[in-house]
Copies of this chain bind each other. A is one copy, B any other.
Amino acid sequence: MMDNSVGFSEPNPHSACGHHVLGDDCRFCSIRRLSICSALDQEELSFLEGMSGDSVFEEKSTLFREEDESISVYNVTSGVVRLVRSLPDGRRQITGFALPGDFLGLALQKQWKFSAEAVTDVKACRFKRSTFDDFSEQKPHLMKRMHEFATHELSLAQDHMVLLGRLTAEEKIASFLMVMKRRWTRVEGHELGLIRLPMGRQDIADYLGLTIETVSRVINQMQRDRRLVIVPDGIRFIDAAYFEQHAIA
């Protein structure tokens, strides 16, 4: 719908990295097509832009904590965020990684139910929750879009439950790599030879319900078996068919 000319990955007039600098001009937002904003027309976009501001979070910083009140909601525009649930004794489960285009704040509640931590430097479009809620209350198609996002998340959550409850370590890793490949391809707009893994091994472990040692062992075994090569910032598939076969969902 409407202006679809935003798919460029060349640098645009507004930023050096090829991604939009927010609070700036939604028309040049390279991840708009992926985001909740794609439900909006030009006028609504302008209005929303007026009430947005941009946030920058540096690597390892915290966007918000589980126990915090959710004063703002965010649209990630660049970088990667890990969504974390922690137990009192320090065990943690990463419930997801937010990539550009992902929205944080779907729940219409005052309190966050998870922490969000910047895995890399992160840019996000920020809205005051109360203003955003009022706006979505008046825009049924925005509410619908948020609902679609929520039910999509729910379906992903169910995939993840299958992974956590029923897959072996090898299947977990293979599935994770396939998912990351698919997601990056969608975000970048085209397939890269490389599968970016900006998160550390410990994060992968906490996402898959494994230990760091097991993640390391399995990935390195896959390399020894010539299924993939480990490269800086990620991995590269050698035997794509192997992953197609072992990844579930």
Contact = CB atoms under 8 A, between A and B. Distances in A.
- Quickly give the copy total for this chain: 2
Contact of A109 (B109, B137, B151): B151
A46 interface: no
Contacts of A208: 165
A62 to B, nearest CB: 18
Interface string A133-148: 0000100100110111
A143 B151 contact: no
Residue from A91, A93, A143, A165 whose CB has the most chain B CB atoms within 10 Å = A165
A206 B159 CA distance: 14
Given A113-B155, A114-B158, A165 B87 contact: no
A85 interface: yes
Contact of A165 (B108, B140, B158, B209): B209
Interface in A108-132: 108-109, 113-114
A92 interface: yes
A224 interface: no
Nearest to A85: B162
A143 B139 CA distance: 11
25 contacts: A85-B159, A85-B161, A87-B162, A87-B166, A91-B166, A93-B161, A93-B162, A93-B165, A95-B158, A95-B161, A106-B147, A106-B151, A107-B151, A107-B154, A108-B148, A140-B140, A143-B143, A146-B147, A150-B150, A150-B154, A157-B157, A157-B160, A161-B161, A164-B209, A166-B209
